[in-house]
Structure 1
Amino acid sequence: MSQTALAEQARAVVYDAYRQGLPQATAAQLLAGKATPAWIAHEYAALRRRGISQMAGQQELFAPEPADAQQ
């Protein structure tokens, strides 16, 4: 697998961890040594700068279903 593909997979893990409100240390554990803590911190900061909510994933998980979807 190419370095680019590995970086994109790591970035996806960090993005998911961030959106679920998980701490950076948990993201590092999920990546199992495939990324440095400094890189993870940089990615978290980039997501904050982009204005992405750290709790967005939890809000999606626990959001009530629209009335149309309940039928």
Structure 2
Amino acid sequence: MTEPISAAQARAIVYDAYTTGLPQAAAAQLLAGRATPAWVAHEYAVLRKRGISSMAGQQSLFDTAETES
């Protein structure tokens, strides 16, 4: 049986998946049945509308400007 998670926790998982470039199906799998694929698609659309880059997480991982100082 899966543990229940809050909406904020589910949104955090979706945000991390989105900003690292994972497809919606992968984000839905990460939630392991705790959210529907339609809900994940809606959250991805919200993030796109907010102008958040789907690669923001990857860009920050490889940003050398912060590590050079």
User: What TM-score results when the alignment is normalised by the length of structure 1?
Assistant: 0.85
Q: How many residues align?
A: 65
**Counterpart residue number, 2:22:** 22
Equivalence for 2:54: 54
Give, as a single letter, the amino acid of the residue that structure 1 aligns with 2:41: A
% identical equivalent positions: 69
Larger Rg over CA atoms: 1
Structure 1 portions without partners, runs of 5+: none
Runs of 4+ in 1 over 4 A off after TM superposition: none
Q: Counterparts of 1:65 and 1:55 in 2: how far apart (Å)? A: 17
Matches of 1:53 and 1:46 in 2, distance apart? 12
Higher helix share: 1
RMSD of equivalent CA atoms: 1.4
